[in-house]
């Protein structure tokens, strides 16, 4: 293995392991009753500050023309505000490891949408991957012993909705591009627009989080998760430029697996055999639907678009 290959692999694993921690941290962030819109606003503010510093250091201005603003709005809605609201609601009721597995369905949902839009070609291998993804969901939802409580099945449905929105976001970016914005610029602009939208909504709905209050475990978890996402995203974009999109997309497997392991370590979660079978089915399905060649699919729960492509890692994430 060359020195560069070893470096790229280390960055890939490091970014994936870090990204995987965001789901358990989100679980901690909602543990004291914080509501989605308040959490999302401060998550976006932290992202704006960190990404603005990075973008300024690179001496890249933030595009503000009409096409860029439309791009920011679409990504803010489908990549952050709507999916993160659902994720924060679901993670209150579901184990964080289940959330990490659920987000791995993004590329599987994106594939049929791409077919409908005519932007992708039919593939039996990807169809098989889609089937394995559905089987993974079924293995979690159907057996009575797979979830800690049978009533959680309904929340599993909510946890899968962000994947649909991320898939819509990815297909939009793949179809229409990012109006000349680079990936960091697009993420910065979308985070700024998202924060502007989230502020009045948080205040009007009573979900505002007062930063003057004591910062406890939940608040530290939010700050840490937001910083991890911004840092891992920048590393991910750097990796795409150095090692290529296909190599970088393998972070999906690390994110999903690490998310489950982080939940076990940080939260003491344990899972039935059905859940481990579901994880195996999801990983196999992810391998089959993973884009080839110059294509790149995305899947961490926050906006990460690339010029002309979707840049969210195909396995979980976004993050939220």
Whole-number mean pLDDT of the chain? 84
pLDDT above 70 for 61: yes
Q: Tens of pLDDT along 98-123?
A: 999 998 888 888 888 888 888 778 88
As to burial, measured by CB atoms within 10 angstroms (0-12 exposed, 13-18 middle, 19+ buried), residue 184 is buried
Residue 310: other Cβ atoms inside 10 A = 30
pLDDT above 60 for 1: no
Span 200-213, average pLDDT:
91
- Any idea where the domains of the chain sit in the sequence? 3-289
Q: Tens of pLDDT along 122-172?
A: 888 888 988 999 999 999 998 887 888 888 999 999 999 999 998 898 888
- Please, where are the H alpha helices in 58-152? 66-76, 82-91, 96-103, 106-117, 124-141
Which 3-state string (H, E, C) describes 160-227? HHHHHHHHHHHHHHHHHCCCCCCHHHHHHHHHHHHHHHHHHHHHHCCCCCCCCCCCCHHHHHHHHHHH
Task: Quickly state the pLDDT bin for 22 (edges 50, 70, 90).
Answer: very high
**Sign of the dihedral through C-alpha 181, 297, 314, 37:** positive
Span 78-89, average pLDDT:
94
Cα maximum dimension of the chain: 56
Residue 3: other Cβ atoms inside 10 A = 7
pLDDT above 50 for 316: no
Q: Which of 3-7, 52-56, 85-89, 147-151 has the lowest mean pLDDT?
A: 3-7
């Amino acid at each position: 293995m060359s020195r560069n290959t070893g470096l790229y692999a280390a960055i890939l694993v490091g970014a994936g392991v870090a990204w995987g921690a965001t789901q358990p941290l989100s679980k901690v962030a909602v543990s004291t009753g914080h509501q989605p819109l308040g959490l999302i606003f401060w998550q976006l503010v932290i992202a704006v500050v960190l990404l603005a510093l990075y973008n300024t250091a690179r001496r890249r201005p933030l595009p503000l023309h009409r096409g860029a603003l439309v791009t920011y709005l679409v990504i803010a809605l489908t990549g952050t505000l709507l999916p993160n609201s659902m994720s924060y609601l679901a993670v209150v009721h579901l184990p964080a490891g289940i959330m990490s597995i659920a987000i791995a369905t993004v590329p599987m949902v994106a594939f049929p949408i791409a077919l409908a839009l005519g932007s992708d070609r039919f593939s039996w291998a990807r169809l098989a991957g889609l089937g394995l993804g559905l089987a993974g969901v079924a293995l979690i939802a159907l057996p009575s012993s797979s979830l800690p409580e049978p009533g959680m099945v309904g929340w599993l449905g909510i946890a899968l909705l962000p994947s649909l929105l991320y898939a819509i976001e990815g297909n939009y970016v793949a179809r229409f591009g990012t109006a000349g914005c680079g990936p960091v610029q697009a993420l910065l602009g979308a985070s700024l627009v998202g924060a502007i939208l989230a502020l009045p909504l948080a205040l009007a709905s009573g979900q505002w989080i007062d930063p003057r209050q004591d910062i406890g475990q939940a608040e530290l978890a939010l700050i840490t998760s937001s910083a991890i996402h911004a840092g891992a995203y920048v590393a991910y974009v750097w990796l795409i430029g150095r090692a290529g999109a296909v190599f970088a997309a393998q972070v999906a497997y690390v994110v999903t697996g690490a998310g489950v392991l982080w939940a076990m370590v940080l939260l003491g979660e344990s899972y039935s055999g059905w859940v481990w079978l579901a994880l195996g089915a999801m990983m196999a399905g992810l391998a089959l639907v993973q884009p080839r060649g110059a294509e790149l699919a995305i899947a961490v729960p926050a906006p990460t678009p690339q010029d002309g492509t979707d840049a969210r890692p195909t396995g979980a994430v976004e993050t939220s």
